[in-house]
Amino acid sequence: MPLDLRQLRYFVAVAEEGHITRAAERLGMAQPPLSQQIKAIEAQLGAPLFRRKPRGVELTDSGRVLLEEARIILAHLAQAERSALSAARGELGRLSLVVAPTAPFHPFVPRVIRAYREAFPGVTLTLEEALSRPAVQALQERRIDAAFIRAELPDTARLTLHRLIDEPLVVALPATHALACDAGSPRPLADFAQESFVAFARAEGPGIFEASLAACLRAGFTPRLGQEAPRITSTLGLVAAGLGIALVPASMRRVQMDGVAYCDLPAQDCPTVPLHLAVRREPGSLVLRHFVDLVRRLLRDVGPDWSAPPVSGR
C-alpha cells in the first residue's frame, strides 16, 4: 500500500527534528506511538529510513530521497488547500466580460476593471468587445458572465440590468464644418436638421441610435440617415471624411481624431444614453458577485455626476 499523508507528516517531522521525542512533541502525540508509526512505514516500504543513534536519528539514503519527495507532496497539498479556500472565497476562478465599443472611453469602466484586477489578482479576467444584442445573446447562452451594454433591450427577461450611468450625447461633426463650435458654445439640435446623420450600429447596438432619433424628433425634425457604421471608430472616421455628423457619448471627446470636432447641446436638447451592467438573473458564481459588488461600490464612490439609480430585472 502507498503511504498516506498522515504517515508522510510523521516521517517529515522526525526527519526535520532528528529526534523522535522532539518530533512527537511537535506533532502533539506521545513518543511510543510515533516510534511505532516510523517502524510501520519502514516495514511498508521495505527499506530503513533512519539510523538510530544514542541521541536521536539520522536519515539513510532512502530516507533522504523520501524526505525530498515528501516535502514536495506536502507543499503541493498545502497549495491545493489554499487554492480551494481562495476559490471558495471567490478569489480564484475566471470572469469573462463583454464591453460595448463606446464603454471603455468613459473613465468609470477602466476604473472598474483596474480596481477588480487589483482586488482579485487570482481571477483570470477576459474582455471582449461586442454590441448590445450579441452581448445579450452571449449572456443568455452562458458564454460570458457579464456585459457592459448601452441599449434598453426588450428581450432581456432572463437578465438583470444594473443601470450605472446616464451619459449625455454630443455632436461629432467635421472640424471644417460651418457649424463646428468651440467648447462651451452649445448649439441647439435643430441647427443640425439639414445634416446627414451617420447611424451607429443601428441593428446590433441600438442604444445610441434610438436615443439620437428620439432627440431629433423632440427637436422637431426627422434626421436624414446617411452612412451606417458598425463601430464607433468607423463612425468618427466617416464624420472626419465629411460624410455626415453623429451623436456620440460625451466621453468620446477623449478620441482625438483628426478632422473631428465635438459640439455640446443645450440641456433642453441633450439626450442621454445609459450604460448598464447586464448579468443573468440566476445566482452567479462568487467571482461574479464580487465583481457586481465592486461595481456598485465604485458607483457610490464616484457620486451623482457619473451615476443613475440602479434598476433590475427586465
CATH number, domain with residue 111: 3.40.190.10
pLDDT at 303: 61
pLDDT at 203: 82
Tell me, yes or no, whether 264 lies in a domain: yes
The Cα 172–Cα 77 span in angstroms is 59
Q: Which of 40, 73, 88 is the last residue of a domain?
A: 88
159 shares its domain with 173: no
39 shares its domain with 58: yes
The Cα 64–Cα 75 span in angstroms is 17
279 shares its domain with 264: no
Q: Which of 88, 120, 146 is the last residue of a domain?
A: 88
265 shares its domain with 278: no
Q: CB 113: neighbour CB atoms within 10 A?
A: 17
pLDDT at 182: 61
pLDDT at residue 157 tops 90:
no
pLDDT by residue (tens digit) across 221-273? Answer: 999 999 889 888 899 999 999 999 999 999 998 888 899 999 999 988 889 99
**Which residues face 256 on adjacent strands?**
none
243 shares its domain with 281: no
**Of how many residues is the chain composed?**
314
pLDDT at 312: 40
Supply the mean pLDDT for the chain. 88
135 shares its domain with 268: no
Q: What is the dihedral of CA 152, 158, 164, 168, to 10 degrees?
A: -10
Cell numbers found for residue 211: 436615443
The Cα 306–Cα 314 span in angstroms is 22
| Least confident residue range of 93-97, 140-144, 281-285 | 281-285
Q: Residue with C-alpha cell 443645450?
A: 266
191 shares its domain with 255: yes
pLDDT at 195: 94
pLDDT by residue (tens digit) across 275-313? Answer: 999 999 887 889 999 999 999 999 888 765 554 443 343
260 shares its domain with 278: no
Tell me, yes or no, whether 313 lies in a domain: no
Residue-range definition of the domain harbouring residue 266: 168-272
pLDDT at 310: 38
More confident residue, 2 or 174: 174
Helix (H, G, I), strand (E, B) or coil at 19: coil
pLDDT at 231: 86
Is-contact 44 8, C-beta < 8 A? Answer: no
Tell me, yes or no, whether 23 lies in a domain: yes
**How many domains, the chain?**
3
pLDDT at residue 88 tops 90:
no
Report the sign of the C-alpha dihedral through residues 129, 133, 139, 143, in that order.
negative
Is-contact 175 279, C-beta < 8 A? Answer: no
Cell numbers found for residue 129: 468587445
Angle made by CA atoms 5, 54, 11, in degrees to the nearest 5: 5
- DSSP structure class, residue 4: P
pLDDT by residue (tens digit) across 195-227? Answer: 999 998 888 888 899 999 999 999 999 999 998
297 shares its domain with 172: no
pLDDT by residue (tens digit) across 108-133? Answer: 999 999 999 999 999 999 999 999 88
Q: How far is CA 86 from CA 60, 213, 225, in A?
A: 38, 49, 53
pLDDT at 184: 56
136 shares its domain with 204: no
101 shares its domain with 229: no
pLDDT at residue 314 tops 50:
no
Q: Residue with C-alpha cell 449625455?
A: 168
- Going by C-alpha positions, the residue among 60, 255, 111, 278 that lies closest to residue 172 is 255
- DSSP structure class, residue 235: H
173 shares its domain with 253: yes
The Cα 68–Cα 77 span in angstroms is 15
pLDDT at 276: 92
- Stretch 5-32: mean pLDDT, rounded? 92
Q: Which of 88, 109, 142 is the last residue of a domain?
A: 88
- Stretch 145-160: mean pLDDT, rounded? 82
- Stretch 76-98: mean pLDDT, rounded? 85
